[in-house]
Amino acid sequence: MTWDSDLAELVGRLAEVRVLAVGDLMLDRFVYGAVERISPEAPVPVLRIEREQAMLGGVGNVVRNLRAQAASVCLVALLGRDEAAREIKGLLRDDVEIESHLLEEDDRPTTIKTRYIAGGQQMLRADRERVQAVSGAIEEEIIARAEADLGLAQALVLSDYGKGVLTGRVVQRLIAAARPRAVPVIIDPKGSDYTRYSGATLVTPNRRELTEATGMPAGSDEEVVAAAAFLIERAGVEAVLVTRSQDGMTLLCRNAPDAPLHLPATAREVYDVSGAGDTVVATVSAALAAGIDLESAARLANAAAGIVVGKVGTATAGSTELTAVFRARELETGEAKSVTLEDALSHVEAWRAQGQSIGFTNGVFDLLHPGHIALLREAKAHCDRLIVGINSDASVRRLKGDSRPIQNDAARALVLGSLAAVDLVVIFPEDTPEPLLEALRPDVLVKGGDYSIDRVVGADIVRAYGGRVMLANFRDGHSTTKSIERANKGKSV
């Protein structure tokens, strides 16, 4: 097993947990449009608005990410009495797996962050908010609501945006309540005094926040580790996970100060980092709630962050997307291309979730020759992902006699898996690939041009659900049987 295959298996466990989330809840608005000219009134771009979108922000975005990973959530937060609060309640009402306890204050406006976006780039953010610590009565109500749910939760998230909900008293009371229950406490921190988070399992500052909290530089790996170690001792927390933008993430634990974990960034393209920290917090929390070790939790969170920064807006990283990332990385290393049908179905589900098309071809592939290479390259040209089905050894003997196959099915699968055009290889025991086609339902079935469409086994299955059947160009003279005949003839001369 590899790291990627192990992590892919762990993703499913995130759906089995319940997380308590407490913090600053806000409404994120996104205004999308196009900029085609500069205003004649001032040297600023004119945004022609095309559409608007609203979603949960702050601790609400942590909740969104937890739900994307199928975890259930209890949310304790504070709102004003205004239209934005009603909009947030409407967004929460649609999901029965979110138990919401929303307190209200008359003189506190609900925080709204409005982002203006053109061409996939954020142009401006406008905030409507009042930063003010909650009253003592509200503090007690927040604590009481949260403590009541701790008996059901397997992790506690404190999402601190510095708006006044997570006062020092609220934070310390909730940490104190979680510790005897062995509930891990994960904190997205704010400010420079992290002693208020003393007793927490994990804090997740970004590079700038780490410097503000310690007064130490956080550029290189060594500097980040030194600052994180200082923070662990000064703040009295168990571990620090530093998010470092294009440099990935660094995890340092109190019980292993000489063994920092540096994880490289996984995003291939970065469009928007909005909310990526919330994704990290949500993923780590769900993983720790599931009993997953902290190193694996950090690796899961790093992959999730790589997904969301490749999207515009405060996005989420779903469990299917996470699984797809690990499966894809596993295949990129050339490992595990030969899979069972069950594993193939998992890959296909993940690929389809990413909008990729699936192709299929099959054969014995006993001695790989130029005709095979041409077939596989052409098949891959008609799809995003190509699956190759090969007959098992017993199947080959039934079809071609006891002298075949020349290479066993494991060897044939290994050779095929080494080709860039091939994404998966599935060995099937039947004499035809029809059971594979019925299960995988590829978008396109490709066979060699020495067939006719009406002779392609499984063509009727594929066409019945709307798939395509295509014939590759035929290269005469290239076949395993003929190669064997020529070799035997040469021996007899």
Q: How far is CA 376 from the centre of its chain?
A: 30
8 A C-beta contact, residue 6 and residue 299 = no
What does the radius of gyration of the chain's CA atoms come to, in whole angstroms?
28
Determine which one of 278, 393, 409, 423 is catalytic.
Answer: 278
Contact criterion met (CB below 8 Å) for 405 and 412: yes
Distance CA 395, CA 366 (A): 12
Q: Hey, is 411 helix, strand or coil?
A: helix
Give the pairing type, strands 25-38 and 45-58.
antiparallel
Following DSSP, what letter does each residue of 188-216 receive, concatenated? Answer: E--SS-GGGGTT-SEE--BHHHHHHHHSS
Structure token pair of residue 460: 């009727």
CB-CB neighbours of 112 under 10 Å: 20
Nearest Cα to Cα of residue 312 among 356, 264, 269: 269
Closest CA to 310 of 281, 275, 334, 283: 275
Helices (H), 236-366: 276-289, 294-308, 319-332, 341-353
Q: CA-to-CA distance for 399 and 389, rounded, in angstroms? A: 15
Q: Does the annotation count 476 as an active-site position?
A: no
Distance CA 32, CA 51 (A): 5
Q: How far apart are CA 49 and CA 164, in angstroms?
A: 33
| Type of residue found at 88 | I
Amino acid at 202: L
Alpha helices in 95-167, H assignment, sequence order: 136-150
Q: Kindly list the catalytic residues.
A: 278
